[in-house]
């Protein structure tokens, strides 16, 4: 069966919550029994998000099948509670790569290869493919960036053609910012009107407008937007600031967005509407016990860099009825033993990362947690540096390090293992995606997961050096999970309240109603809930 398409564009500014709106709509339609999928289209030339600095683009989200994608795919997974794949993130880089590959193969022999039709055809075929992979009845296609960006034009042209090819089967939703002037209490709709004009200039008439503002839209602004954008007032929706993005589905549901979409696309839902995030949000608000968690990393100035970890803590918080209070700590600031800021933390997470900046600060944070018996979770780089810290300060291996930072270290406790990683080039060459982990029976990790076989998603290049495993274990740092081919996946420290290192990123699989077992166990230990680690309930 052919899918219907909802194309979501953005206007005025980027980061106005298009991803959250798309994900919310996905959730509402899915809950009505429709098979849905979501596609993020990113007009940049990078083939994937893997080589981008988190400061510029926020977190790189990793799917089960190991694609390094835009963080919006994380929103889609968390809100709609479905797995994304490499087909769900289309970039200009992927499209051009494919077009040029076909040209070299002689697939367009004799023709001049052009944006229209060759690039636009490729875009359409990638969108259809993503939809077919899920056998979707409804496919939500979010176009990254803002209308008017030069890179976005071929993509807008492609979706314009999709409408032409299937008049009844495609609708356009435009999400744009409406500025709120505090001084006068006015909502300024002019930039939104201009962004719609820009869309119409290229042949796209939005069916639905979502005005994103600090405050709810008043009737006069709604009427004005409707008039100037050629949309009926009942098709103008308001998305306003709330303390948690999980509230956005409720906001849109209350205004009936899903019903308008269903009637426009003539869909036949199976169920009455439901919104499982509603009770999640009320639980989130009602939990009163606060637990202070320090997150130590290198990209902490942009909170979006670690969005899945922050969310995993919130999901675990709701399940445990505690409220994680997050304190972001710049690793570099801890260097030279300036760890006072960690004093009040009830739990410490050392975050993932790359390169040498802030590494000694992260190691200080591990040491603090280990020596002061503060619950500790090291994720990926945080795990590797916990191994380094242990080697140096417990095993007394002076100068122990990861070869990522010190290629000449006398004790390369973390290093690239020949044969395990393709080391040529940077794009897509890490250990990526979901892999099976064998958990040691009777370990803390075993209690946490309640299983000896689990899968978590990976994104790293360096591994614990097998030559040091025996020494680490003799010193008390137990290996409690290994990959199929024996690589170290989890470690835990004997005799500590909670000290776990994780090579994979369990946060990628955490969802509001299925929190990650590791994050739950860590948060439970931080909040001093008893029994500390037997919290595997509710996990997937």
Positions touching ligand GLN (CB under 6 A) are 352-354, 380-381, 384, 404, 459-462
CB of 463 to ligand GLN, least distance (A): 7
Q: Do 443 and 478 form a contact (C-beta atoms < 8 A)?
A: yes
For 369, phi then psi, to 5°, come to -60, -40
CB of 136 to ligand GLN, least distance (A): 31
What's the gap between Cα 295 and its chain centre?
Answer: 17
The DSSP H or E segment spanning 175 is strand 170-177
Instruction: Find the catalytic residue in 364, 463, 507, 532.
Output: 507
CA dihedral 318, 319, 320, 326 (to 10 degrees): -40
Which letter does DSSP use for residue 137 in this model? S
Active-site annotation holds for 507: yes
Rank residues 96 and 354 by Cβ distance to ligand GLN and give the closer one. 354
Instruction: Find the catalytic residue in 122, 389, 505, 532.
Output: 505
CB-CB neighbours of 398 under 10 Å: 11
Rank residues 59 and 81 by Cβ distance to ligand GLN and give the closer one. 59
Strands of 138-143's sheet, edge to edge? 89-91, 36-42, 138-143, 4-11, 170-177, 208-213, 236-240
Q: Do 43 and 144 form a contact (C-beta atoms < 8 A)?
A: yes
CB of 384 to ligand GLN, least distance (A): 6
Burial class (CB within 10 angstroms; exposed 0-12, middle 13-18, buried 19+) of 19:
buried
For 534, phi then psi, to 5°, come to -90, 70
CB of 482 to ligand GLN, least distance (A): 16
CB of 113 to ligand GLN, least distance (A): 37
Rank residues 181 and 426 by Cβ distance to ligand GLN and give the closer one. 426
Active-site annotation holds for 273: no
Rank residues 141 and 488 by Cβ distance to ligand GLN and give the closer one. 488
Rank residues 236 and 349 by Cβ distance to ligand GLN and give the closer one. 349
Instruction: Find the catalytic residue in 68, 118, 157, 380.
Output: 380
Active-site annotation holds for 380: yes
Rank residues 146 and 308 by Cβ distance to ligand GLN and give the closer one. 308
Q: How far apart are the first and last CA of the chain?
A: 31
Angle at 265 between CA 262 and CA 270, to 5 degrees: 45
CB of 458 to ligand GLN, least distance (A): 8
Catalytic residue annotation:
380, 505, 507
């Amino acid at each position: 069966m052919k899918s219907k398409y909802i194309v979501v564009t953005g206007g005025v500014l980027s980061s106005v919550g298009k991803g959250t709106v798309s994900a919310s709509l996905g959730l509402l339609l899915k809950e009505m029994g429709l098979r849905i999928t979501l596609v993020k289209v990113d007009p940049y030339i990078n083939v994937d998000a893997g080589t981008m600095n988190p400061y510029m683009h926020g977190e790189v989200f990793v799917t089960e099948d190991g694609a390094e994608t835009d963080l919006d795919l994380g929103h889609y997974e968390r809100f709609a509670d479905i797995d994304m794949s490499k087909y769900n993130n289309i970039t200009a880089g992927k499209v051009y790569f494919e077009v040029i590959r076909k040209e070299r193969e002689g697939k367009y022999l004799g023709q001049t290869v052009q944006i229209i039709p060759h690039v636009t055809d490729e875009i359409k075929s990638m969108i259809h493919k993503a939809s077919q992979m899920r056998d979707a009845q409804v496919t939500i296609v979010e176009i990254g960036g803002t209308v008017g960006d030069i890179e976005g034009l071929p993509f807008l042209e492609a979706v314009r053609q999709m409408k032409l090819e299937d008049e009844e089967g495609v609708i356009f939703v435009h999400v744009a910012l409406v500025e709120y002037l505090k001084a006068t209490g006015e909502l300024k709709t002019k930039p939104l009107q201009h962004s719609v004009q820009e869309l119409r200039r290229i042949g796209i008439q939005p069916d639905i407008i979502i005005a994103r503002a600090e405050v709810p839209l008043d009737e006069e602004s709604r009427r004005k937007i409707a008039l100037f954008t050629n949309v009926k007032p009942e098709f103008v929706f308001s998305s306003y600031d709330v303390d948690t993005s999980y509230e956005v589905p409720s906001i849109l549901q209350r205004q009936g967005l899903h019903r308008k979409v269903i009637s426009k696309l003539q869909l036949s839902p199976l169920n009455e509407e439901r919104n499982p995030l509603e009770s999640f949000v009320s639980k989130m608000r009602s939990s009163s016990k606060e637990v202070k968690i320090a997150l130590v990393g290198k990209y902490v100035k942009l909170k979006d860099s670690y969005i899945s970890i922050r969310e995993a803590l919130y999901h675990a918080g709701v399940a445990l009825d505690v409220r994680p209070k997050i304190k972001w700590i710049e690793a570099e600031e801890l260097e030279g033993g300036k760890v006072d800021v960690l004093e009040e933390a009830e739990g410490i997470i050392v975050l993932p990362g790359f390169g040498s900046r802030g590494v000694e600060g992260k190691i200080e944070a591990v040491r603090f947690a280990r020596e002061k018996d503060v619950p500790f979770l090291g994720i990926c780089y945080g795990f590797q540096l916990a191994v380094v810290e242990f080697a140096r300060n417990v095993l007394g291996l002076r100068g122990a390090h990861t070869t990522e930072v010190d290629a000449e270290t006398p004790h390369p406790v973390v290093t690239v293992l020949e044969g395990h990683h393709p080391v040529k080039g940077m794009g897509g060459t890490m250990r990526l995606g979901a892999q099976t982990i064998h958990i040691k029976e009777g370990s803390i990790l075993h209690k946490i997961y309640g299983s000896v076989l689990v899968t978590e998603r990976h994104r790293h290049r360096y591994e614990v050096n097998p030559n040091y495993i025996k020494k680490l274990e003799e010193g008390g740092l137990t290996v409690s999970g290994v990959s199929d081919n024996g690589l170290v996946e989890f470690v835990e420290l004997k005799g500590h309240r909670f000290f776990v290192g994780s090579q994979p990123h369990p946060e990628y699989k955490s969802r509001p109603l299925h929190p990650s077992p590791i994050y739950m166990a860590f948060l439970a230990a931080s909040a001093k809930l008893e029994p500390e680690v037997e919290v595997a309930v509710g996990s997937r």
